[in-house]
């Protein structure tokens, strides 16, 4: 089996440059102190000087092991030598149970995106490599993942108001360490990378054992790329189906049941999954079994709650996917703030007001004609403008002169969201 040729500095720089959009403003680099992210930092700094781009860096200290703070300071010193502004953000793990690695990963992206917004950084670079892709592929294969799970990592995604890029997915860990060694730059190895309790470590060791069969990082990343092509085709078919059978009504989605029953099962699954995530705002799709129940309800009738959504099907031809009241019951923000991650209420300023769901009390305060505009279950979870216990406005129910509820960002239009994926 032929191994992939090593990638040198010129190709690394060329690849990096090709992945950064022409309209990029400030560029951020997420740097842990490990070999991959340090190489990315040096490459980004060099490209920034050549292209006239402002580059900044951030390190997240999760506080989970001894030496993490010192490693962050080492990164800060290197950034000083490179004339790259650097910030350190520290995470305090919340009390209680939970998947520590998952919590740390979400917190890392939250902290980085918050920093990016504060600093006006338009794109944040991540140091994921072909090895990371191959390890992820192998772990997901072990979990019997489908096309989406086995597809190549996205080279671009949004989180918390920031755009993240993975420009080094075609480079290997060895390529980046060779680049650092040629410059005499030392990196820190995280001890957890040798701890066999973690799936990724076991996957890394399995890859080494499988290399003689040709199942190396290059081979698995190539398969992941093929899966990404298949995923993109399925997403296009799903988008086409949505244009035919889905109607957006404010923040709800109405689905034609007769046409839904006619589409292939995989397209039905994807459409259902996308609808639940758009209405409920979940970061990850629901699992297969409960999702299958939602698909059954959409086709056969009934109601079911899942992923912060209430799905009601029948007695007519349209099923409705709406926000579930229990999921937003305790959401309260000051007037003018984003509510439920997707709603703004625009209108004249009213002192001392907050935005929270209508609930039973809000529905009782609506005039009879307003309660006829939307199903009661949808009204309960609609945003309302409140002053203490007085409902000032419920724009989705047509109540409150001069007020408008507006979906914002990538949650504004369901069909546009599908088409952009």
Q: Is the pLDDT of residue 387 over 90?
A: yes
When pLDDT is averaged across residues 224-240 and rounded to a whole number, the result is 94
Judgement on whether residues 351 and 384 belong to the same structural domain of the protein: yes
Judgement on whether residues 319 and 333 belong to the same structural domain of the protein: no
Judgement on whether residues 316 and 359 belong to the same structural domain of the protein: no
Q: Assess if residue 218 is contained within a domain.
A: yes
Q: Assess if residue 234 is contained within a domain.
A: no
Number of domains in the chain: 3
Q: Assess if residue 230 is contained within a domain.
A: no
Q: Is the pLDDT of residue 137 over 50?
A: yes
Judgement on whether residues 334 and 396 belong to the same structural domain of the protein: yes
Q: 77: buried, middle or exposed (CB in 10 Å: 19+, 13-18, 0-12)? A: exposed
Judgement on whether residues 36 and 152 belong to the same structural domain of the protein: yes
Domain boundary among 267, 296, 323: 323
Q: What is the pLDDT of residue 415?
A: 83
Q: What is the pLDDT of residue 96?
A: 59
Helices 130-142 and 217-245 cross at an angle (nearest 10°) of 70
Q: Which long-range contacts (CB under 8 A, 24 or more apart) does 94-102 make?
A: 100/64, 101/198
Q: Is the pLDDT of residue 175 over 90?
A: yes
Judgement on whether residues 374 and 389 belong to the same structural domain of the protein: yes
Q: What is the pLDDT of residue 194?
A: 66
Judgement on whether residues 334 and 319 belong to the same structural domain of the protein: no
Per-residue tokens: 121: 């950084």
Q: Which is more confident, 378 or 145?
A: 378
Please enumerate, by residue number, every residue annotated as part of a binding site: 32-37
Judgement on whether residues 118 and 65 belong to the same structural domain of the protein: yes
- Give the range of the structural domain holding residue 276, as residue numbers without chain letter: 250-323
When pLDDT is averaged across residues 94-111 and rounded to a whole number, the result is 74
Q: Assess if residue 390 is contained within a domain.
A: yes
Q: What is the pLDDT of residue 405?
A: 95
The torsion angle over the Cα atoms of residues 67, 69, 73 and 76, rounded to 10 degrees, is 120
Give the CATH number for residue 307: 3.30.465
Give the CATH number for residue 31: 3.40.50.620
Domain boundary among 323, 347, 382: 323
Q: Assess if residue 241 is contained within a domain.
A: no
Domain boundary among 224, 259, 274: 224
Q: Is the pLDDT of residue 1 over 50?
A: no
Judgement on whether residues 14 and 85 belong to the same structural domain of the protein: yes
Eight-state DSSP code of residue 93: P
Q: Assess if residue 1 is contained within a domain.
A: no
Q: Assess if residue 239 is contained within a domain.
A: no
When pLDDT is averaged across residues 300-322 and rounded to a whole number, the result is 93
Token pair 């698909």 in the structure block, residue = 295
Q: Assess if residue 166 is contained within a domain.
A: yes
The model carries a pTM of 0.76
Judgement on whether residues 85 and 157 belong to the same structural domain of the protein: yes
Which among 361, 3, 375, 357 has a CA at the least distance from the CA of 211?
Answer: 3
- List pLDDT tens digits, range 313-360: 977 899 999 999 999 999 999 998 999 989 999 999 999 999 999 999
Apex CA 381: angle with CA 380 and CA 385, to 5°? 90
Beta strands in 155-214 (DSSP E): 156-159, 162-165
Judgement on whether residues 399 and 374 belong to the same structural domain of the protein: yes
Judgement on whether residues 220 and 364 belong to the same structural domain of the protein: no
Q: Is the pLDDT of residue 238 over 50?
A: yes
Mean pLDDT of the chain: 89
Please enumerate, by residue number, every residue annotated as part of a binding site for ATP: 32-37
Q: Is the pLDDT of residue 98 over 70?
A: no
């Amino acid at each position: 089996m032929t191994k992939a040729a090593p990638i040198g500095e010129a190709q690394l720089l060329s690849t990096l440059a090709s992945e950064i959009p022409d309209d990029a403003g400030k560029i951020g680099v997420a740097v842990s102190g490990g070999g991959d992210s340090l190489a990315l930092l040096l490459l980004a700094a060099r490209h920034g000087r050549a292209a006239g781009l402002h580059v900044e860096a951030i390190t997240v200290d999760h506080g989970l092991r001894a030496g993490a703070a010192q490693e962050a300071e080492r990164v800060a010193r290197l950034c000083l030598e490179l004339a790259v502004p650097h910030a350190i953000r520290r995470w305090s793990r919340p009390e209680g149970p939970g998947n520590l690695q998952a919590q740390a990963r979400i917190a890392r992206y939250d902290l980085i995106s918050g920093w990016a917004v504060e600093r006006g950084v338009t794109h944040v670079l991540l140091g994921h490599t072909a090895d990371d892709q191959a390890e992820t592929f192998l772990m997901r294969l072990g979990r019997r993942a489908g096309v989406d799970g086995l597809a190549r990592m996205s080279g671009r995604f949004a989180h918390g108001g920031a755009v993240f890029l993975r420009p080094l997915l075609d480079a290997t860990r060895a390529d980046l360490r060779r680049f650092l060694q040629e410059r005499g730059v030392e990196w820190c190895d995280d001890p957890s990378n040798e701890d066999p309790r973690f799936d990724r470590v076991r996957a890394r060791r399995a890859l080494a054992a499988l290399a003689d069969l040709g199942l190396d990082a290059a081979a698995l990343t190539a398969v992941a790329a093929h899966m990404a092509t298949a995923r993109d085709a399925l997403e296009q078919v799903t988008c086409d189906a949505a244009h035919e059978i889905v109607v957006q009504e404010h923040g709800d989605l109405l689905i034609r049941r007769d046409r839904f029953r006619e589409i292939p099962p995989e397209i039905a699954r994807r459409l259902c999954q996308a609808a639940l995530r758009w209405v409920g705002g979940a970061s990850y799709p629901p699992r297969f079994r409960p999702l299958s129940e939602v698909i059954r309800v959409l086709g056969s009738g009934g109601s079911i709650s899942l992923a912060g959504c209430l799905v009601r099907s029948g007695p007519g031809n349209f099923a409705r996917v709406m926000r579930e009241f229990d999921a937003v019951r305790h959401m309260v923000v000051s007037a003018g703030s984003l509510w439920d991650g997707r709603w703004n209420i625009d209108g004249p300023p009213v002192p001392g007001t907050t935005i929270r769901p209508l609930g039973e009390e809000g529905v009782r305060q609506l005039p009879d004609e307003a309660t006829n505009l939307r199903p009661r279950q949808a009204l309960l979870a609609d945003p309302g403008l409140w002053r203490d216990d007085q409902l000032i406005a419920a724009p989705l129910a047509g109540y409150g002169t001069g007020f408008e509820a507006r979906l914002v960002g990538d949650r504004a239009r369901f069909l546009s969201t599908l088409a952009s994926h």
